[in-house]
């Protein structure tokens, strides 16, 4: 009952799984990496770390390694894992092994099993879950879910047997009305777009190295439309004084502007930067998730030059 409830809470608005083949992730998940090897081997964990090793079964075939990140995630690792586990069972997989951080072996399990390197995957050794499943003798899947701060990470590794549909049991993000839009389409249609993958030092205006796919796409749009100008607008949550938040949000907008100018060679006269602090929220500041959503930088489309 609890498993079904968790699934309905997180995935209640998701469409049916396409052709009963794909694993549907939350609509807010964004893919970070896809490392597919046409022919490789994978040691599927079948038990917890013990006596210096992880029991495993070796599979060979097409190995599909994918990672996803969910920003502002409030769901527990079990709430994220349970619907995926149910989907695997519905596709005819047998759950071989499942564990939670300390029961898996904590630090040792995390560093002895295969993990896609950072920044494409992050595992908090105090807050993760792992699952492995098999179907027939040459078809296997593992799922790793972890939470770190206000973000959740999901890694899927699938061994596809020879002749299998490459798209079968591929994790994908669920579609919503905005999911099919490119950044430029949203910018033209709505007049603004949130640059959701930007990351800053905590409480500071320093933009982390990235990569930031949103900036790459925004720079591409500006190169394709040399007549357009934009304003980068920083926003904050309501914690602290307004003047302090306006200063911080302006610093972050300017950091994004500098990155566009210096890394992507965008004409600085085409990009303004401003900060408005907490004066334009998009969510309630009464919850951690709402405050996380309100801390953002938006690109606003201005009139043509």
Task: Compute the C-alpha angle 199/201/204, nearest 5°.
Answer: 115
Report pLDDT for 170: 56
What confidence tens digit (pLDDT) does each residue in 76-113 have? 899 899 989 988 988 889 999 999 999 999 999 999 99
Cα separation, 89 vs 139, in Å, equals: 14
22 φ/ψ angles, rounded to the nearest 5 degrees: -95, 150
What confidence tens digit (pLDDT) does each residue in 133-154 have? 999 888 999 999 999 878 899 9
Each domain of the chain, given as residue ranges in start order, spans 2-173, 183-301
pLDDT at 303 over 80: no
pLDDT at 30 over 70: yes
Ordered strands of the 30-45 beta sheet: 30-45, 56-71, 151-160, 139-148, 128-135, 94-100
Q: What is the average pLDDT score of the chain?
A: 83
**Mean pLDDT, range 207-222, rounded to an integer:** 84
pLDDT at 202 over 50: yes
Report pLDDT for 182: 66
183-301 placed in CATH 3.40.1000.10:
no
Report pLDDT for 17: 28
What confidence tens digit (pLDDT) does each residue in 51-85 have? 999 999 999 999 999 999 988 767 889 989 998 99
**Which residue(s) pair with 79 in the sheet?**
none
60-77 per-residue burial string, b: 16 or more CB within 10 A, e: under 16: ebbbbbbbbbbbbbebeb
Nearest Cα to Cα of residue 157 among 166, 170, 176:
170
Q: How confident is the model at residue 273 (pLDDT cuts 50, 70, 90)?
A: very high
Cα separation, 289 vs 294, in Å, equals: 9
Task: Give me the DSSP letters along 56-104.
Answer: EEEEEEEEEEEEEEEET--S-HHHHHHHHHHHHHHTT-EEEEEEEHHHH
Residue 234 vs residue 161, higher pLDDT:
234
Cα separation, 133 vs 121, in Å, equals: 20
Q: Which helix (H) or strand (E) holds 214?
A: helix 213-224
């Amino acid at each position: 009952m609890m498993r079904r409830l968790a699934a309905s809470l997180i995935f209640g608005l998701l469409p049916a799984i396409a052709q009963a083949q794909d694993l549907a992730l939350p609509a807010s998940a964004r893919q970070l990496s896809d490392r597919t090897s046409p022919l490789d081997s994978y040691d599927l964990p079948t038990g917890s770390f013990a006596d210096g090793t992880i029991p495993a079964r070796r599979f060979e075939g097409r190995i599909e390694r994918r990672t996803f990140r969910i920003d502002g995630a409030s769901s527990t690792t079990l709430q994220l894992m349970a619907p995926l586990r149910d989907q695997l069972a519905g596709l005819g997989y047998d759950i071989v092994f499942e564990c939670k951080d300390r029961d898996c072996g904590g630090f040792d399990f995390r560093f002895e099993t295969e993990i896609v390197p950072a920044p494409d995957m992050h595992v908090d050794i105090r807050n993760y879950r792992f699952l492995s499943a098999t179907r027939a003798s040459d078809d296997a899947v593992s799922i790793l879910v972890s939470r770190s701060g206000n973000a959740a990470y999901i890694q899927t590794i699938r061994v596809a047997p020879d002749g299998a549909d490459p798209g079968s049991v591929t994790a994908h993000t669920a579609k919503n009305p905005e999911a099919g839009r490119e950044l430029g389409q949203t910018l033209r249609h709505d007049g603004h777009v949130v640059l959701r993958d930007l990351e800053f030092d905590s409480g500071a205006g320093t933009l982390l190295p990235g990569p930031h796919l949103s900036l790459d796409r925004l720079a591409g749009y500006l190169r394709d439309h040399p007549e357009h100008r934009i304003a980068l607008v920083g926003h904050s949550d309501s914690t602290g004084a307004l003047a302090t938040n306006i200063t911080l949000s302006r610093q972050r907008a300017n950091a994004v502007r500098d990155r566009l100018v210096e890394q992507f060679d965008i004409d600085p006269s085409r990009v303004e930067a401003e900060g408005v602090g907490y004066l334009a929220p998009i969510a309630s500041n009464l919850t951690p998730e709402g405050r996380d959503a309100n801390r953002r930088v938006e690109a606003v489309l201005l009139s043509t030059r």
